[in-house]
Copies of this chain bind each other. A is one copy, B any other.
Amino acid sequence: MKDKYKTLVAGGDMRQVYCALRLSEEYDTSIIGFDDEFIDDDISIRSAVLSEGESFDCIVLPVIPIGEDGMLNSPCSAVSIDPLSISRTLRPGGVIFAGKVDERLRKIFPGYEICDYLVREELSLKNAIPTAEGAVQLALEELPVTLNGLSVLIVGMGRIGTALAEILKGFGADVTAAVRNESGAAKARIHGIKSVYTAKAGSDYGLVFNTVPSLVFDREKLSAFGAKTLFIDLASKPGGIDFDAARELGIKAIWALGLPGKTAPVTSGEIIAESILEVLGERSGGDA
């Protein structure tokens, strides 16, 4: 089994080291793009040397694979790594795993199968957990009051909103979900929390988590809130808060991106590995 997919994990942050460690339980796995100081003694994972004749069945790239400079995104390596030096080691018929797959990446690995692990449903679901935990950690660090008894608004009852609700209930927070329709209200009900339509949500909350990737809290909406409310935005790309307006209004708002890798690199790396194993299992016709 170990020989089935000879794997190279190349570049990325600490998540990728733990991803490699998990993959190495199943397949012959090595890493590149991590200087010694980043590899603890108790992490037994082989460093690859991209010598002539070295060849891999599977290459795992980071969530953001290629940097602005066209080099491999490898923040844990002092030297730059040319992605072409990686691509040369992939045997014909091999497979690449990466987040955010774009044209640039396709040109580096022409004709190869490239799997975007970020679009896997189970990865998004699992990542909701480190994201929610990281967001709650931020709230605990920033707030001078306990979460117990605090009025908390969660905007959106998707994966992350649900994960947040579960955690905050345990703290004894007074949780309300801001929802868009009756289906959202019903989801809140199943999770044992109250709900309000987002447009009608008041401002009497000590903590607001946004999970919806569109401008929910514009200047007007923000101006109803006081300085005692902490906003934590977990939405990607456009984000859900007008941060300039928040600053001017003296409202503390944090845009917390990439939490899984920051607050729980081991778990996040294992989540990526599990998705890769799932895909490789499907390819082999296995029932992982």
Contact = CB atoms under 8 A, between A and B. Distances in A.
A284 interface: no
A68 interface: no
Contacts of A189: 125-126, 129, 148-149, 172
Interface stretch (A30-38, A53-61, A107-115, A191-199): A191-199
B171 A167 contact: yes
Interface residues of A, number: 57
B192 A148 contact: yes
A28 to B, nearest CB: 23
Nearest to A163: B190
B136 A275 contact: no
A278 B182 contact: yes
A130 B274 CA distance: 36
Interface string A132-169: 01101100110111111100000000010011001111
Nearest to A160: B190
Nearest to A188: B172
A199 B287 contact: yes
Given A129-B146, A187-B125, A140 B263 contact: yes
A190 B121 CA distance: 13
A44 interface: no
Contacts of A143: 264
Contacts of A182: 122, 126, 274-275, 278, 288
A-B interface, 5 closest residue pairs, ranked by CB to CB distance from nearest: A170-B170, A172-B192, A125-B186, A122-B182, A137-B140
Interface of A: 14, 18, 42, 121-122, 125-126, 128-130, 133-134, 136-137, 140-141, 143-149, 159, 162-163, 166-172, 181-183, 185-187, 189-193, 197, 199, 227, 263-267, 274-275, 278, 287-288
